[in-house]
Chain A
């Protein structure tokens, strides 16, 4: 049987890893890739991991001159997520099919809820942030912050804090991310012209499923057990 200290360390690590994935995905959706980020992704170590995941980025991702690839990725990002015209709006209020019918528009009821949720957790939107409050990158970033805080709380042995973070994570996952991200990702997967964004969407969707089913952070039964043990 694992000792409580080991469980806490393990849980801290897990929360930190989840935070990294949320952070990475948040960055990818937040804006176009730049040269530095592309370098990191094309790094053999990162590519090895993607290979493990059976991610298919296609020949163009490696063979094209970098400046050309960056340009193509930027145009693809614009076409997919910004418009104008036909695009896949990366905002919850467009996809979260609420029972009250208040969805399918920008700055919808979900936008207000996400904004209030995030602000009620003590965070605020930076003045220089010009996007909408329910952009996918913001929601993922929020989870990144929460899981990072959870990780720190495990390390500090602050179980009230752990419990609080887990509650918020669970509530936010259930009320927001799990309500729409899979719908959004399916659309990107079927519409993406470049394999990079298609595969990122597939990873995102997969990660959401994993979060829900196994890692669970705070909401899966397994995690609740670990938490109980840790408290004891």
Chain B
């Protein structure tokens, strides 16, 4: 028992002094300066607080709303919507406000770490940043020197705007093109469908000017890619202008509840209803007028210059069998209701047709979105005020990013693993959920170095156990680096963890879609310094590149962002970086519609190298597209990069400019690229193979999001998990009664690849034949509020006594396999059939 007394204290003090005399104490000092008797400052926490209001941008979800952060004495205390933002109009959601929890998350990683035990054992040692950067740089250099830079895989979860431009660019500058993303977990099929039809992806619904909102499978009032900017407009439209909203959904979400009408629909059958609605529009002649006019810009047959009459005839022929009665049998929606909604949508001008996750996370997902585009086209609701518009965002200039002279990539991002009977002809946003299964199928040697950035591969993909098996295998992944502000379900299996700055501690230019069609330029500013030794990974990549001899004109990401802002036309004249730091947002006030009608000057096609392709009706430049073997516009690799204009009669128009796919400049309702791969060029209903022999006791498992959580990055936010601590499985009372299940019972949910247990929520808000589970919860290593694994001694929290719930939920991805839709390879989250029993 230690007993420090006055007597032995003096000895201990002398010994301590001797240690300090060696200079040891000086090396670790945090403080400088001298004690002063008069400083003119008061240190009472209740007086003289300096409050700063700093414009910045959210990042809790991909909507990235503009915000104001309030900082007191270096501590972030509040986040609010930016009142001058034309996107958000001062609104942010609960997730955004809880961003403070991210900065001050007690489970944050504050120092670089290297594992000391076996992978996944959880033993770590702090290392310095110099050691970390040296090791990472050496490993990249070795692969470059050996001629295999592609053996470095960089896989990110969310990387947008300046972060994508800079970090993605610098990773490529090291020579690797082995870069994975996670769009195949989000909405890749939707994007691919848009690339097949109207070119560049992302649609905006012009809610401020619309008169009718028709929604398929989007819980848009709770969560969405552009959530608050759209959601608050929908509520304004409903309340201020009495705009009617109808929602088709497998369950009564809060969005469905707030709609004027909720129409239950069987999972994965939205496309059948789109097809039948189109049948109604064609047969009742509701395409006449606006739709007929727009058909001039559409390709509906093999001939791009076909007459409108022929186009209508071809469509009528194709859609003849897709009757409301046919769709009713598939979808469960009454035929009369389909006809009524089709008529309402086609005759209320202008109108928007929203479709999202519910409609596309299925075997027919990409074609479902194409079918929606047909319906929008036939009603003339394309890129028009109040309709379905091509998205507009900020067009930032970028400071120079170095490029690698040679770049190599592993062919592992775009297909299913061997043995899985699937193929994806247009994986334009990759099938990144298949990367781990493909690494396993490819065997050791595929990659030597893996780096996850803002990515939790174990949790975010389907087949969690399969993911963990690959992550743990040191032969398949010899060295894994995870860049993350937090310890979590995937960092647990890393060999080195680099502590990333949270989004509230870093700088970015931002460009998310603006619902006003104007395009808002906005920035993210660091509200506080990165906690501990955490660093923005942009800064780290700059350092790595510089060490590799790759020069940059900036030493930090902040400098890169500043240079880019100061180069951007419009923003530059408004005052550049200083203006943006003070105001956070800027726009030119010009809304953009009908971009496809824009006439192209004749000089554009007189430029050297530009040729006309008769089959496509497109002027293009093969040289600019770096085409080495010219097989015509449709069939030359990356021909779309040389697109110049579309010929319509005697006019030259901008048309629907292609991106990622060699489509013409028309709205391609009839798709030449799909025909060329042997698929139906018009949207075609093909039932999901696994649904062909559905057993009477099978239920469709669907997943969804709630208003206070994002998929994988908010569960350790205390305020949010207090509101939504654990998930339950929604079941209809009929399905529950048939299985002897009561509300609150523990149930087993079993799929072909696994089984999970969860509490049942028996509710009429779930449709018979379905079980609906939200997918934010059930973490196993991500922090005390997310997984319940709080530090046994250091994690005291005065709110502990207020915890009223038991359990942290269950993650459905353990029983959902990694599969892909038949065109884009997009993860089919909602095609899994399960059997449910009482536990």
Is the Cβ of A115 less than 8 Å from the Cβ of B74? yes
Is the Cβ of A79 less than 8 Å from the Cβ of B124? yes
As a 0/1 sequence over residues 791 to 808 of chain B, the CB contacts with chain A under 8 angstroms (1 = contact) are 111111111100000000
Is the Cβ of A75 less than 8 Å from the Cβ of B123? yes
| A87 located at the interface, meaning its Cβ lies under 8 Å from any Cβ of chain B in the complex | yes
Chain B residues, CB < 8 A from A20: 13-14, 16-17, 20
| A226 located at the interface, meaning its Cβ lies under 8 Å from any Cβ of chain B in the complex | no
Taking each of A31, A34, A89, which has the highest tally of chain B beta carbons within 10 Å of its own beta carbon? A89
Q: How far is the CA of A113 from the CA of B528 in the complex (A)?
A: 17
As a 0/1 sequence over residues 163 to 202 of chain A, the CB contacts with chain B under 8 angstroms (1 = contact) are 0110010000000000000000001001100000001001
Is the Cβ of B789 less than 8 Å from the Cβ of A86? yes
Chain B residues, CB < 8 A from A125: 30-32
Q: How far is the CA of A161 from the CA of B124 in the complex (A)?
A: 46
A145-B31, A203-B4 are known contacts. Are A79 and B123 too (CB-CB below 8 A)?
yes
A40-B18, A106-B531, A122-B35 are known contacts. Are A53 and B2 too (CB-CB below 8 A)?
yes
Is the Cβ of A85 less than 8 Å from the Cβ of B31? no
Is the Cβ of A88 less than 8 Å from the Cβ of B9? no
Count of chain A residues with Cβ under 8 Å from any Cβ of B?
Answer: 96
User: Which residue of the partner chain, among A84, A105, A118, contacts B487 with CB atoms under 8 Å?
Assistant: A84
Q: How far is the CA of A161 from the CA of B45 in the complex (A)?
A: 25
As a 0/1 sequence over residues 51 to 92 of chain B, the CB contacts with chain A under 8 angstroms (1 = contact) are 000000000000000000000111110000000000000000
User: Which residue of the partner chain, among A17, A25, A37, A132, contacts B9 with CB atoms under 8 Å?
Assistant: A17
| B25 located at the interface, meaning its Cβ lies under 8 Å from any Cβ of chain A in the complex | yes
Is the Cβ of B4 less than 8 Å from the Cβ of A120? no
| B326 located at the interface, meaning its Cβ lies under 8 Å from any Cβ of chain A in the complex | no
Is the Cβ of B45 less than 8 Å from the Cβ of A109? yes
Taking each of B8, B126, B486, which has the highest tally of chain A beta carbons within 10 Å of its own beta carbon? B126
Is the Cβ of A206 less than 8 Å from the Cβ of B4? yes
A20-B14, A124-B32 are known contacts. Are A103 and B798 too (CB-CB below 8 A)?
yes
| A78 located at the interface, meaning its Cβ lies under 8 Å from any Cβ of chain B in the complex | yes
Chain A residues, CB < 8 A from B693: none
Taking each of A18, A75, A103, which has the highest tally of chain B beta carbons within 10 Å of its own beta carbon? A75
Q: How far is the CA of A119 from the CA of B32 in the complex (A)?
A: 10
| B41 located at the interface, meaning its Cβ lies under 8 Å from any Cβ of chain A in the complex | yes
Q: How far is the CA of A145 from the CA of B33 in the complex (A)?
A: 10
Is the Cβ of A85 less than 8 Å from the Cβ of B793? no
Closest partner residue, chain B, to A191 (CB atom)? B793
Is the Cβ of B106 less than 8 Å from the Cβ of A21? no
Q: How far is the CA of A212 from the CA of B498 in the complex (A)?
A: 41
Chain B residues, CB < 8 A from A215: 6, 9
CB distance from B584 to the nearest CB of A (A): 23
Beta-carbon contacts under 8 Å, A122-179 to B = 122-126, 129-133, 135, 137-138, 141-142, 144-146, 149, 160-161, 164-165, 168
A107-B104, A131-B30 are known contacts. Are A115 and B73 too (CB-CB below 8 A)?
yes
Chain B residues, CB < 8 A from A113: 43, 45
| A12 located at the interface, meaning its Cβ lies under 8 Å from any Cβ of chain B in the complex | no
| B109 located at the interface, meaning its Cβ lies under 8 Å from any Cβ of chain A in the complex | yes
Is the Cβ of A137 less than 8 Å from the Cβ of B13? no
Q: How far is the CA of A75 from the CA of B76 in the complex (A)?
A: 32
| B113 located at the interface, meaning its Cβ lies under 8 Å from any Cβ of chain A in the complex | yes
Interface hit among A1-9, A41-49, A61-69: A41-49
Chain B interface SS verdict (over half): loop
User: Which residue of the partner chain, among B31, B103, B105, contacts A123 with CB atoms under 8 Å?
Assistant: B31
CB distance from A215 to the nearest CB of B (A): 7
Chain A interface SS verdict (over half): helix
User: Which residue of the partner chain, among B3, B18, B20, B109, contacts A54 with CB atoms under 8 Å?
Assistant: B3
Is the Cβ of B34 less than 8 Å from the Cβ of A26? no
A75-B123, A84-B487 are known contacts. Are A26 and B25 too (CB-CB below 8 A)?
yes
Is the Cβ of B74 less than 8 Å from the Cβ of A210? no
CB distance from B28 to the nearest CB of A (A): 4
| B781 located at the interface, meaning its Cβ lies under 8 Å from any Cβ of chain A in the complex | yes
| A217 located at the interface, meaning its Cβ lies under 8 Å from any Cβ of chain B in the complex | no
| A55 located at the interface, meaning its Cβ lies under 8 Å from any Cβ of chain B in the complex | yes
Is the Cβ of B794 less than 8 Å from the Cβ of A87? yes
Is the Cβ of A207 less than 8 Å from the Cβ of B4? yes
User: Which residue of the partner chain, among A23, A89, A146, A165, contacts B16 with CB atoms under 8 Å?
Assistant: A23
Q: How far is the CA of A41 from the CA of B9 in the complex (A)?
A: 16
A78-B125, A161-B37 are known contacts. Are A107 and B531 too (CB-CB below 8 A)?
yes
Is the Cβ of B20 less than 8 Å from the Cβ of A27? yes
CB distance from A207 to the nearest CB of B (A): 6
Beta-carbon contacts under 8 Å, A55-95 to B = 55, 71, 74-75, 77-79, 82-89, 94-95
Chain B residues, CB < 8 A from A164: 37
| B443 located at the interface, meaning its Cβ lies under 8 Å from any Cβ of chain A in the complex | no
Q: How far is the CA of A202 from the CA of B110 in the complex (A)?
A: 26
| B42 located at the interface, meaning its Cβ lies under 8 Å from any Cβ of chain A in the complex | yes
Q: How far is the CA of A132 from the CA of B3 in the complex (A)?
A: 31
Is the Cβ of A83 less than 8 Å from the Cβ of B109? yes
Q: How far is the CA of A105 from the CA of B1 in the complex (A)?
A: 32
Chain A residues, CB < 8 A from B589: none
Is the Cβ of A27 less than 8 Å from the Cβ of B39? no
| B491 located at the interface, meaning its Cβ lies under 8 Å from any Cβ of chain A in the complex | yes
Q: How far is the CA of A42 from the CA of B800 in the complex (A)?
A: 42
Q: How far is the CA of A120 from the CA of B42 in the complex (A)?
A: 7
Closest partner residue, chain B, to A130 (CB atom)? B533
Chain B residues, CB < 8 A from A77: 126
Is the Cβ of A149 less than 8 Å from the Cβ of B35? yes
CB distance from B483 to the nearest CB of A (A): 13
Is the Cβ of B36 less than 8 Å from the Cβ of A121? yes
Is the Cβ of A122 less than 8 Å from the Cβ of B36? yes
Chain B residues, CB < 8 A from A32: 126
Is the Cβ of B29 less than 8 Å from the Cβ of A21? no
As a 0/1 sequence over residues 172 to 186 of chain B, the CB contacts with chain A under 8 angstroms (1 = contact) are 000000000000000
A89-B794, A120-B41 are known contacts. Are A52 and B24 too (CB-CB below 8 A)?
no
Chain A residues, CB < 8 A from B42: 120
Chain A residues, CB < 8 A from B491: 84
Q: How far is the CA of A122 from the CA of B35 in the complex (A)?
A: 5
Chain B residues, CB < 8 A from A54: 1-3
CB distance from B829 to the nearest CB of A (A): 30
CB distance from A79 to the nearest CB of B (A): 7
Is the Cβ of A83 less than 8 Å from the Cβ of B9? no
Is the Cβ of A116 less than 8 Å from the Cβ of B791? no
Q: How far is the CA of A105 from the CA of B102 in the complex (A)?
A: 11
Q: How far is the CA of A77 from the CA of B832 in the complex (A)?
A: 46
CB distance from B19 to the nearest CB of A (A): 5
Is the Cβ of B35 less than 8 Å from the Cβ of A123? yes
Is the Cβ of A187 less than 8 Å from the Cβ of B109? no
Q: How far is the CA of A120 from the CA of B48 in the complex (A)?
A: 12
Is the Cβ of A137 less than 8 Å from the Cβ of B28? yes
CB distance from A21 to the nearest CB of B (A): 5
Q: How far is the CA of A32 from the CA of B24 in the complex (A)?
A: 12
Is the Cβ of A120 less than 8 Å from the Cβ of B125? no
Chain A residues, CB < 8 A from B122: 85
Is the Cβ of A74 less than 8 Å from the Cβ of B9? no
A-B contact pairs, 28 of them (CB 8 A): A17-B13, A20-B14, A21-B16, A27-B20, A53-B3, A55-B2, A75-B124, A85-B122, A88-B791, A89-B106, A94-B796, A105-B797, A106-B105, A107-B531, A111-B75, A115-B73, A117-B43, A118-B31, A123-B32, A125-B32, A131-B30, A137-B28, A137-B30, A141-B31, A144-B25, A149-B34, A206-B4, A209-B4
Q: Which 10 pairs of residues, A with B, have the shortest CB-CB distance? A: A122-B36, A84-B487, A17-B13, A24-B16, A104-B797, A20-B17, A88-B794, A30-B28, A187-B793, A120-B43
Q: A53-B3, A129-B29, A203-B2 are known contacts; what are 14 more A-B pairs with Cβ within 8 Å? A: A27-B19, A49-B14, A53-B12, A82-B111, A82-B113, A84-B124, A97-B798, A105-B797, A115-B74, A120-B43, A124-B33, A125-B30, A142-B31, A190-B793
Binding site for B on A (CB under 8 A): 16-18, 20-21, 23-27, 30-32, 34, 36-37, 40-41, 45-46, 49, 52-55, 71, 74-75, 77-79, 82-89, 94-95, 97, 101, 103-109, 111-113, 115-126, 129-133, 135, 137-138, 141-142, 144-146, 149, 160-161, 164-165, 168, 187, 190-191, 199, 202-203, 206-207, 209-210, 214-215
